Amino acid sequence: MPWPRRSTNCMNLLNNRSLVNRLVFTCLLFCCALHHSVNAVAQDTLAIDFNAPVCGPDLRAHVQVFRGSPDIETPAGIPAEAFQYDTSVFHSRKKALTSVNDLWLRLNIRNTGDKTRTLYFFTGWHEQLTWFPPAPHQPVATGLMIDRRGVQRWDRSAFPVQLGPGQAGTFYLHIVNNFYRENNFMPVLFDEVGYAEFRQQQTDGYKREVLVIQVLIGMLLVLLSITIINYIQLPDRSSLYFAAYLLGLIVYFTLRLETKPYQLSFFHFCPMFKYYWDTPAMMFCFYLMYMLFGNVFLSLRERYPLMEKIYRYGAMATAALIVVSITLIALGNYQVPALIYTWMYYITLVPLGISFIAMARRSRHHPLIRFFLFGSICLYVLSIYAFITNTEPVSFTPLPELVAPYNILVLGVLLHVLFFAAGLSYRNKLVHQEKTKTQEMLIKQLNKNKDLQRKLNVQLEELVKEQTTEILRKKMELEEQRKLQLDIEYSKKLAEIELKAIRAQINPHFIFNCLNSIQLFVMQRDFEHAQKYLSDFSYLIRKTLDFSRRNFISLADEITYLNTYLGLEKMRFEHKMSYEITVDPVIATAELEVPAMLLQPYVENAVKHGMNNDDRACGLLTIIFRMTAPDMLECVIEDNGIGIERSKALRTLPSHHQSSGMEISLNRAELLNKMYNTDIQIEIIDKSGKQASDSGTIIKILIPQL
């Protein structure tokens, strides 16, 4: 039975071969699937041999783009599917921006070589760049507006891509451009040799532009020095405006004097200055200073008033736009100021052309117009020509940052300032000639004046003799008037001294009478009335001292003072006295004035000597104020006492005591009449002299209002 055994072995062998074939087929399928999956990954990954020379291959088809936002700071915050291929964001020349360009770039790259080597990924010079290499390398932040002093921007815009043999990595680059123009934006790779050659080519291209700008700045500095010297010798506002214009141009072109691409060699310590002095500088130089200079240089106010108004209001509007532009730039908006300058340029093209035609028609009568006109037309025509023949792939724009060839604009500015400088020199020459003519005329006039002076000297000598006598006579009259004036002043001062002496007499006299009343209350042990009396008395003393230092007080103060005084006296006399003060309602007591302390002595005398009438149980004192005329106040003090004559007969005071209150008041009235030319009249009437059955005293005082 050997054959069946062989057949069994053959069957086993066939089964084993079938299993092997299945395994091989499965491996082939896996390899095919693996091959397809590798190809799928390779579509997003740039495979490049790092050992071979690499000199700027175009990577636009391999770089994925994501338009970012200020909230995203790291690649971790961006979904992988958000990156897309978009070659429209790249450009090989400058590009105008209407908004902030915030982009994220992603590059997947694999080293197919057998050595570890470093390549450089370069996209152009941008304002803010952040490079995110694979771990463990740290991100790198750089950019034209981030790097400060001591940083070579030339070497920081190319980022190292370092991978080992067969290694792959994902690199991210965050780019933010805020300005109204964006520099060349092309993603390329360089090796060290290729990057050095690229740098050399860029440097050679910049040297020509730098040379032109250096020559221009040198000429502007020379013109500025000459203008300052001329202004020192001959101060003139046109020279001052032209110097400010030149200084603005020097700063503007100095910011563009770059020994390396976008290195900002002179202002690298403050890169933001290039932002702040771009569009405001052009408006400042080519519009504000231009109109201020032309207004003064051509004397438009005297010659052409309408054009002067246009230039003046145009300068004011430009100054306002400059402030608005600087404010917007400070807030981070750089596109709107560029639009403001663009529209200003377009809007002023026609008015400036019309003004040039109007000036050309008047150039025969005003030689300075030619210099101003030629200088303006040079810049006007060459700027238009430069914008029309612009080789940059941007629209028709007046912004010099986006215009090439740049040398045409530089030539226009140079011719512009040269004609203006020549015009200033010619103006200074005219001013010098005018001064020379004026001096010659002055010399001739001085010679004529000398002849006239000789003739006038003879006439003056005769007049002096005539006037000497008159002067002596006038001098004597003045001496007499001066003596008379001194006498008047002396009399016035003497009257014031006498008045002060009288006041000194009034105060002790009144205080003595009040103290007698206080003493009576104290002796009677009436402490309640004594306390009130002392309180009112202290008020009365203060007012007495205050009024004694013043010549006049208001009628309201006088009535209040008399009320207080009579209240004290009524308290002392208990029920033996009553008083009444009546004021005419038409009298404005706060406005009318009466002499201080004039009425009080009469009231005091009426109280002291008029309340002693034994025929009456209660004495009555009446004070009436009324206007007898619009400017005449009458005060009537009336009592029902014993009268003046009987009071004198019954007086029992010692011989050394003299009641001089009424006499003092009369003297005060006389002195006040002298000092202020008033006519205070005092009339004292004894009622018993008119009617025997009646008794008492009436005092009438007329006080005129000054």
- b/e per residue, 577-613, with b = 16+ CB within 10 A? bebeeeeeeeeebeebbbbbbbbbbbbbbbbbbbbeb
High-pLDDT (> 90) share of the chain, %? 19
Q: Find, among 256, 250, 208, 186, the residue nearest to 401 by Cα.
A: 256
Which span out of 264-278, 406-420, 681-695 was modeled with the highest average pLDDT? Answer: 406-420
> Coil, strand or helix: which one is 602?
helix
User: Does residue 519 sit in the same domain as residue 613?
Assistant: yes
Query: How many Å apart are CA 2 and CA 57, to the nearest integer?
Result: 74
**321 — pLDDT class (breaks 50, 70, 90):** very high
User: Does residue 227 sit in the same domain as residue 104?
Assistant: no
Query: How many Å apart are CA 670 and CA 445, to the nearest integer?
Result: 68
What type of residue sits at position 180? Y
User: Does residue 208 sit in the same domain as residue 267?
Assistant: yes
Q: State yes or no: pLDDT of 136 exceeds 80.
A: yes
pLDDT digits (tens, 9 = 90+) for 169-209: 999 999 999 888 888 899 999 988 888 888 888 888 778 77
Q: State yes or no: pLDDT of 497 exceeds 80.
A: no
Using an 8 Å Cβ cutoff, are 237 and 230 in contact?
no
Query: How many Å apart are CA 182 and CA 111, to the nearest integer?
Result: 32
pLDDT digits (tens, 9 = 90+) for 377-400: 888 888 888 888 877 777 777 888
Q: State yes or no: pLDDT of 589 exceeds 70.
A: yes
Q: Please tell me the predicted confidence (pLDDT) of residue 651.
A: 62
Using an 8 Å Cβ cutoff, are 297 and 373 in contact?
no
CATH assignment at residue 683: 3.30.565.10
**Domain assignment present for 487:** no
**Domain assignment present for 295:** no
Q: State yes or no: pLDDT of 148 exceeds 50.
A: yes
pLDDT digits (tens, 9 = 90+) for 301-320: 888 888 889 899 999 999 99
Quick one: average pLDDT of 238-262? Answer: 84
Q: Please tell me the predicted confidence (pLDDT) of residue 677.
A: 79
Q: Please tell me the predicted confidence (pLDDT) of residue 690.
A: 67
User: Does residue 196 sit in the same domain as residue 142?
Assistant: no
**Domain assignment present for 635:** yes
**Domain assignment present for 93:** yes
User: Does residue 602 sit in the same domain as residue 688?
Assistant: yes
**Domain assignment present for 301:** no
User: Does residue 180 sit in the same domain as residue 274?
Assistant: no
**Domain assignment present for 488:** no
Quick one: average pLDDT of 519-540? Answer: 78
Q: State yes or no: pLDDT of 572 exceeds 50.
A: yes
Between 608 and 153, residue with greater pLDDT: 608
Checking 569-572 for CB contacts under 8 A at 24+ apart, the result is: 569/517, 569/607, 571/517, 571/521, 571/529, 571/532, 571/533, 572/517, 572/520, 572/521, 572/533
**624 — pLDDT class (breaks 50, 70, 90):** very high
Q: Please tell me the predicted confidence (pLDDT) of residue 458.
A: 85
- What is this structure's pTM? 0.55
Q: How many helices (H) and strands (E) does the chain have?
A: 18, 19
CATH assignment at residue 74: 2.60.120.260
pLDDT digits (tens, 9 = 90+) for 72-113: 888 988 888 889 998 889 988 888 888 889 999 999 999 998
User: Does residue 524 sit in the same domain as residue 620?
Assistant: yes
- Show the domain range for 93: 46-190
Between 551 and 514, residue with greater pLDDT: 551
**Domain assignment present for 105:** yes
Mean of per-residue pLDDT scores for the chain: 80
**Domain assignment present for 617:** yes
High-pLDDT (> 70) share of the chain, %? 84
Quick one: average pLDDT of 581-610? Answer: 86
pLDDT digits (tens, 9 = 90+) for 510-521: 567 667 767 776
User: Does residue 123 sit in the same domain as residue 216?
Assistant: no
**276 — pLDDT class (breaks 50, 70, 90):** confident
Quick one: average pLDDT of 221-244? Answer: 90
- b/e per residue, 341-363, with b = 16+ CB within 10 A? bbebbeeeeeebeebeeebeeee
Q: Please tell me the predicted confidence (pLDDT) of residue 567.
A: 85
User: Does residue 132 sit in the same domain as residue 216?
Assistant: no
Last residue of a domain, one of 213, 243, 278: 278
Last residue of a domain, one of 253, 278, 303: 278
Residues 6 or more apart in contact with residue 340 via CB below 8 angstroms: 279, 283, 321, 324, 325
User: Does residue 148 sit in the same domain as residue 205?
Assistant: no
Cα separation values, 43 from 63, 121, 166, 228, 240, Å: 11, 20, 16, 67, 66
Quick one: average pLDDT of 343-348? Answer: 89
Q: Please tell me the predicted confidence (pLDDT) of residue 323.
A: 94
Q: State yes or no: pLDDT of 546 exceeds 90.
A: no
Q: What is the DSSP string of 178-245?
A: -SSEE--B--EEE-HHHHHHHHHHHHHHHHHHHHHHHHHHHHHHHHHHHHHHHHHHS--HHHHHHHHH
Between 28 and 356, residue with greater pLDDT: 356
Tokens 């009040």 found at: 514
pLDDT digits (tens, 9 = 90+) for 630-660: 889 999 999 888 777 777 776 654 444 445 6
Quick one: average pLDDT of 586-601? Answer: 87
Q: State yes or no: pLDDT of 28 exceeds 50.
A: no
The total number of structural domains in the chain stands at 3
Quick one: average pLDDT of 618-631? Answer: 89
Q: Please tell me the predicted confidence (pLDDT) of residue 15.
A: 40
Last residue of a domain, one of 123, 157, 190: 190
User: Does residue 577 sit in the same domain as residue 674?
Assistant: yes
Q: State yes or no: pLDDT of 622 exceeds 70.
A: yes
Query: How many Å apart are CA 421 and CA 243, to the nearest integer?
Result: 10
User: Does residue 204 sit in the same domain as residue 76?
Assistant: no
Residue 424's CB is within 10 A of a number of other CB atoms, namely: 25
